Structure 1
């Protein structure tokens, strides 16, 4: 585990803005990443999505003390290949060095212009259900109410108030592949 003190500072700044999500860029080696830091979820989430023809997605839970697990497991080879290191550079991928670079790239001040749109979040969060439908359309009663995956998507794209509304109303959020004028309120 590694403490990411930059996330602590960024989060304090986000509270003052106020916002619960920020997007920033991280450049290392030959790769640019679009990063999202979200405090909408528990634990908080930091994601990195490479800006490439076939984007690679990495998700890290941010534990108390702004600590992330730097063990990459199966993802080690994918990140190594993406960064064009090891056999091609003669250098090994050292996760602590990689995360140290990421730590230095984290902005210390939140900005209103760095709050991503719903569609940007859906584009960058490859762990979301039905990413191809990023636009909120309406609420609908379905079976026994919203599924966990539907509640997760509602939280990530619309925030905690929308998720709570879904629970209280016992309705699922319905999403569209085309832009709608729908608002969750």
Structure 2
């Protein structure tokens, strides 16, 4: 399915220098937070409800196509969040959810669209050490004889971008996170 709303939004993002943006989406009385990441490949949508500890990561091709199928756990969680009941005459299809999301994608970004690193980290409860949402720095695993974990690389890629992910993967570096805002650092790439 093509999300043409994302295509329009992405054009505006390019014109204004944004590579990440956020917006709200409402369905069935629930407020979803949506983050659109275009500095990773494939692009990614993170669709979440913080109060429900739910996040649906969706890969988006560079032609703005997505797969509307979901695994059973995500499907059931989404149905519960939306408050839907089984109706044999009217089955819920994820496509309906994405069609509605597409209709609510804003056409332009503004100052309120700027995404902070911790907003990405706190949206997805599936990240490693999910309570640690603030970037703290880097850990060279070579010094300790360890390897960067796939879960840390996943969080690094989404939260800090493709360049940081590639450097961490190549040089065996882990991103370090904290749950305390006062310990957070301004993002910088690892020194190699």
Whether the 8 Å CA contact 2:24–2:32 is kept in 1: the answer is yes
What CA RMSD, in Å, does the superposition of the two structures yield over aligned residues? Answer: 2.4
1:24 Cα deviation from its structure 2 partner: 0.7
Whether the 8 Å CA contact 1:24–1:106 is kept in 2: the answer is yes
TM normalised by structure 2 equals 0.81
1:177 Cα deviation from its structure 2 partner: 1.9
> Separation in 2 of the partners of 1:184 and 1:30?
35
- Indicate the structure with greater helix content: 2
> Separation in 2 of the partners of 1:157 and 1:44?
13
Q: What is the aligned length?
A: 182
1:61 Cα deviation from its structure 2 partner: 1.1
Aligned match of 1:72? 70
Whether the 8 Å CA contact 1:10–1:108 is kept in 2: the answer is yes
User: What SS does the aligned partner of 2:112 have?
Assistant: helix
Whether the 8 Å CA contact 1:86–1:92 is kept in 2: the answer is no
Whether the 8 Å CA contact 1:6–1:103 is kept in 2: the answer is yes
Residues 50-79 of structure 1: per-residue CA shift (max 9 Å, x gap): 253x33221211124211111234133322
Whether the 8 Å CA contact 1:23–1:114 is kept in 2: the answer is yes
> Separation in 2 of the partners of 1:86 and 1:29?
12
Deviation >4 Å, runs of 4+: 167-170
> Separation in 1 of the partners of 2:184 and 2:146?
27
> Separation in 1 of the partners of 2:57 and 2:38?
14
TM normalised by structure 1 equals 0.83
Aligned match of 2:8? 9
User: What SS does the aligned partner of 1:45 have?
Assistant: strand
Report 1:95-114 matches (<5 A). Answer: 95-114=94-113
Report 1:11-50 matches (<5 A). Answer: 11-50=10-49
Aligned match of 1:151? 153
Long gaps (5+) in structure 1:
none
